[in-house]
Amino acid sequence: MRKESYENALIQLQDYDTVIIVDDSGSMSLHGRWAEARSALSQLAGVAGDYDENGLDIYFLNSKLKITGCKSPQDVLDMFDTVQPQGPTPIGKRLNVLVNGYLDGLDKAKRSNRQLPKPVNMLVLTDGTPTDDPQSVIEYVAKRLDNGNYDLTQLGIQFVQIGNDKDASEYLRTLDDDLAATGIRDIVDTTPYIGEISSDMIIKVLLGGINRRQDRRKVGV
């Protein structure tokens, strides 16, 4: 990404809160995946510190550790060093807590005629298929957004695959297709494995999701 394009992307991302959910299941300890995610997110935190006053919010699927408003690369490195990848891949459970918590705040602000919280870009970094049912959570969330008549850019969930597990790639493709078939608003983008993740790649993915949702809003989709 050229420097000018990169800076324009970061300026656009200021209008959104960025929430990262990191898969810390057992398979993330294989093939350098944990180190890959650690490095990319520490770089991203440094960038966020320069361009976004709110920083990053980072959560894990299994560990209760979290970091909010993060602008320090070292804080990310330290947190990753504390968490040991282990356990299942409960993407649906984690999405249910975080996304519906955000929507509760959104509904409350709307009822009291207060300014709505900033739109959210939620990024799920995962290397495998989930052990629960995130699709039903996503469908419920999309219906809540529709019922509240919220802007199409209010919330986006983006799945990015770490590693090249074929089952994970197939799951992401199927998730995209299955959600499209429901006829509900499209809040999900998926990126199967395209190479080692980096802060630059994550920014491209986040911005791509924003632009697609803005395009859909312009054409009234």
Residue 167 within any structural domain of the chain: no
Instruction: Specify which residues 57 forms β-bridges with.
Output: 19
Q: Check residue 80 and give its pLDDT.
A: 95
Look at residue 65 and tell me whether its pLDDT is greater than 50: yes
- Domain contains 142: yes
pLDDT of the residue at 221? 45
Give me the amino acid identity at 176. Answer: D
Looking at residue 207, its amino acid is L
- Spatial contact of 66 and 75, defined as CB atoms under 8 Å apart: no
| Range of lowest pLDDT (11-15, 140-144, 157-161) | 11-15
Give the range among 26-30, 85-89, 125-129, 196-200 with minimum mean pLDDT: 196-200
pLDDT tens digits, 1-15 = 566 677 777 788 888
Grade residue 132 by pLDDT with cuts at 50, 70 and 90.
very high
Domain total for the chain?
1
Indicate whether 82 belongs to any domain: yes
**155 touches 120 (CB < 8 A):** yes
Domain harbouring 212, CATH code: 3.40.50.410
Cα–Cα distance, 165 to 123 (Å, whole number): 19
For residue 150, what pLDDT is reported? 95
Residue 12 lies in a domain: no
Share of the chain above pLDDT 90, in %: 53
- Domain contains 4: no
Strands across the sheet containing 120-126: 66-70, 56-60, 17-22, 120-126, 155-161, 188-191
Alpha-carbon distance values, 155 to 86, 103, 127, 134, 212 (Å): 29, 9, 23, 16, 12
Split at pLDDT 50, 70, 90, the class of 77 is very high
Specify if 14 maps to a domain. Answer: no
Task: Specify the higher pLDDT residue, 116 or 186.
Answer: 116
Which structure tokens are listed for 179? 């959600």
User: Residue 158 belongs to what domain range?
Assistant: 20-162+174-220
What is the Cα–Cα distance from 131 to 84, expressed in whole angstroms? 19
DSSP state at residue 168:
H
Mean pLDDT along residues 123-135: 93
